Structure formats: C-alpha cells, structure tokens
Chain A
Amino acid sequence: MGFREINSKMIEVTVAPGQRLFSQRGAMLAYTGEVSFTPNMTGGQGGVMSMIGRRVANEDTPLMTVEGSGTVLFGHGGHHIQVINLAGDTLYVEADRLLAFEGTLEQGTVFLGSQGGVMGMVRGQVSGQGLFTTSLKGHGAVAVMAHGGVIEVPITPQRPVHVDPQAYVAHHGDVRNKLSTALGWRDMVGRGSGEAFQLELSGSGAVYVQASEEKL
C-alpha cells in the first residue's frame, strides 16, 4: 500500500481490496474510486478490551476504518505530516498525532511507568504524553502529524540525543529515554533558561522532532 507524500501537508494512499487502513476521523480530503469510511468505535485494533484500555489510558482518538479500492488523500488541520515506514520495529507516538496507519500494524497502549518507573511517569507529564502512549509495531507505514516541519534525528549507542519534551513527536527502535533535568538555583528564583527539562534518548533508533514547541 504505502503512503506517498504529495506535499508537506498532504499524503496519498492507495487502498486495495482486503487491505485495511485506519485514519483519524475527518482527515480525508478527497478520494477516487469506491472507498468506504466507517467510524471505528473501538478506536483502532483489537476488541472491546483494547477499547476500554485505550479509554482508561486516555489514548483513544476518533478513528475510522478505510476500506475499498481507490486512492485517498489525507491531511488534517494544516499540520505537517511525516510518513514513517516501520520494518518490524515499534513506534511510540501519542494517539492524537496519528493521521493514518496501515492495518498491518499492531496497535498497543504502553504505560510510561513501565519504562523507568516514577521517572517515566514524570517524563510523560513533562512531554505531554500523559501516563500512557500508543505503540505501533510491525511492518507498514504510519503518517504522524506535527506542528511545523519534522526532522528525524538518528540515535546511535554512542550518541544519545537530547530533545525538548515539547518538540518531541515520536520515536522508534530500541530506545531508552529518560528525563534529564538541569535544574539549578536559577530556576528556583525564576531566572531559568527555560530548558530545565530535556528528554534524553539513548540506544539505537530514531526520534522525530517538530520545529515548534506547540502541541497539536
């Protein structure tokens, strides 16, 4: 199937019979052929239990199932779109940022506390991810929305990457992240640099950073 970027704010997806695709509701711009858009009550894959899990975790986002044969154009809210092709690894992203993803990917909800305990939860609060985030695993393409353009920063074992939590979009690969603080007495008296919290990602993979500190 594959996602094709038409410009920085629009993607084109070819849908064939038997292939499913999930997309955010209302994100379709145009289509040719016979394609149906069915609201997906469970907010993605899995059964009712997955839905409840997502609701509890506040990682549910209104999705629709796209099926049929034809070509669909997606875009949403004037946000920049980054297409990420996954080849067996796992992408971690906030559910709100998902524009579309292929049905071949396995969707899950991850508790951030499981990656570093309490610090993981603190990190989730700071980066705006909350306590939970969505994971997509397998082979297929994902279209992720961001405010401003997106750059991909590779992470290698020798070179950890520090990211402003507000500019963090998503990451994939075998990556450990921790919140590094550079709090000093200056922050306490309100003369801080404004960059007291940083997300440190180490391991091997890639992190996507948006050119803005604005949330979606």
Chain B
Amino acid sequence: MSGPVHDPMTLPADDNVDPYTFCVELKSTQWFMQKGKMIAYYGSIDFNGIGHGRLDRLVRTSFHSPLHASDWVVAEGSGKMLLADRAFDVNSYDLEDGNLTIRSGNLLAFQPSLSLKQSIVPGFLTLIGTGKFVAASNGPVVFMEPPIRVDPQALVGWADCPSPCHHYDHGYMTGVMGGLRAMTGLGGASGEEHQFEFVGAGTVLLQSSETLMAEQATGVTPHEPGVPGGGTQGSRGQGAGAPRLPGQLGDLQRRFGL
C-alpha cells in the first residue's frame, strides 16, 4: 500500500485527501451535505435532517428549495469529516460573490455562507454567494470558456454565464442523401445532434465522460404560469438524451450499427 495513513491531525482541512475523498473540517460550524455522502468522521459531529426545528433559520437563509430539503442534512459540530461518492472524482470550488449552476446529482456539500437555489433549468441547482462547495464528477473536471457547445451528458455546470440554449446539428439530414437517410433510417445518427450552447463570458465545467451521476430531485417548482416545468418533478427521466429525429430507430439502431 502506498500513501500515508491519516490521523485527525494529518488529515487536510477542507481539502482533498485523494482524488476521490474530500475532508471537511468543522469548528463548531455547519455544512450542508447530501444524504449518504459521509464515509467517516473524527470528532463529534451531528447530522440533522432538515425539517421543522431549530435549523429553520439556517434553512431559510441558505436553502431556498423547501420541498427538496429532505435530500439534505446539516452537519454541525467539531471534527473532520470525509465525503465521497461511489469513487467519483471529488473537488472543492471556491465562490467569491459569484454564482454557479450545477447538475443536482453532482453537488455533494456546501458551506451555509452560500445559498442554494433551484435553477430555472430543470435538474440544476444554483449556488450564490461566497464560500466553498464540494462537487463530484465522473473523471476530472475541465474548465472551458464560451463560446462552446457541450454534450448534455458531459455538462457538470457553469459559472457566471448566461443560461445555455439548445443547439441542434443535423446538417447531414438535409439534401437528397440526407433526406434518404432520414426517410429510411439508414446511416443512423451520430448521437451528437443535440448540444447545449454557451455564449458570453463565464466558465463552463465539463466532466470527462458521458456517464451521468444519479440525478437528485431538485424539488418541485411552483405550478404557476411562466414557470418552466412548473408543478412537475424537476428531474425527468434521463434516458432520452437526444430528441428522436425522423428515421431514427433509437437504441436498437445503434446496437446494429446502422
């Protein structure tokens, strides 16, 4: 075995132990974390579910998605706590009076100095303020500058830039041969017809693979006119990555390599 054996003194404070484990130091402070992501801790730390009770004030100031609160717990006390998620790469990020929107399943924990809000984009959460948060990704996260078009499954989040829009590439489906292709389904689809397009200034976070993390419900948005996805569950089935284009047979087609 390589690597040092850690004890409470040598564990890093608010830093990665290895690429897959993050250590949070609590000094009578609080952290929000997703349920079930703590793997070990030293010291005396309480984990309290968010509900009605003494945490109400904290929840009111830094947690703005009341119906989604059951997926989160507040860790408070003193000690060191290790966070990990199914051997995915884990990293911490510092926000300074900024905003960052992240896929709900990727966010593991955050400091209460940040406030968490649901994004208008379904399935995403936005963090606003100053503080540190911990996020998991499949493979190391790569930061890119707009303008860029990103595969929906590779997107982890974005900071400081306007919301993305959908971009469709199906130029090869035009023209005579393209029409034939679309009519018969022969030739198949490249699987890259649909991207998220980012423009403007900011940073886009990508993960290095197209394997998504399990989606976390972001809670229900109010059912009222003008609210996208209002009243429906924020996380919808993820199976359908790209919209079905004419002449496309879906999974079967890819399997047969047509």
Contacts and interface: CB of A to CB of B under 8 A. Distances in A.
A207 B204 CA distance: 37
Interface residues of B, number: 31
B152 to A, nearest CB: 10
A211 B197 CA distance: 36
Given A76-B209, A78-B208, A28 B151 contact: yes
B169 interface: yes
Interface string A5-28: 011111000000000000001111
Contacts of A73: 142, 144, 154, 206
B209 A9 contact: yes
Interface in B47-100: none
Interface string A60-86: 111010000000010111110000000
Contacts of B189: 25, 39
Contact of A31 (B138, B148, B211): B148
Contact of A36 (B150, B172, B208): B172
Interface string B204-220: 10101111000000000
Contact of B192 (A8, A28, A55, A79): A28
Per DSSP, chain B at the interface is: loop
Interface range for A: 20 to 34
A45 to B, nearest CB: 15
B243 interface: no
A118 interface: no
B190 interface: yes
Contact of A26 (B148, B171, B191): B191
A38 interface: yes
Contact of A30 (B138, B206, B209): B206
Contacts of B147: 32
A62 B188 CA distance: 9
Nearest to A31: B149
A60 B139 contact: no
Contacts of A60: 257
A38 B187 CA distance: 9
Nearest to A75: B208
Contact of A61 (B188, B191, B206, B257): B257
B227 to A, nearest CB: 29
B254 to A, nearest CB: 6
Contacts of B209: 9, 29, 75-79
Contacts of A62: 188, 191, 254, 257
A39 B211 CA distance: 21
A32 B146 CA distance: 8
Contacts of B150: 29-30
Contact of A10 (B142, B188, B257, B258): B142
A7 B190 contact: no
Contacts of A78: 138-139, 208-209, 211
Given A37-B190, A62-B257, 17 more contacts: A6-B208, A25-B191, A26-B192, A28-B151, A30-B151, A30-B195, A32-B149, A38-B172, A39-B172, A39-B188, A39-B189, A39-B190, A64-B191, A73-B142, A77-B211, A78-B208, A78-B209
21 contacts: A8-B208, A10-B142, A10-B208, A26-B254, A27-B210, A29-B208, A29-B210, A30-B151, A32-B147, A37-B191, A38-B172, A38-B190, A61-B257, A62-B188, A64-B191, A73-B142, A73-B206, A75-B154, A75-B208, A78-B138, A78-B139
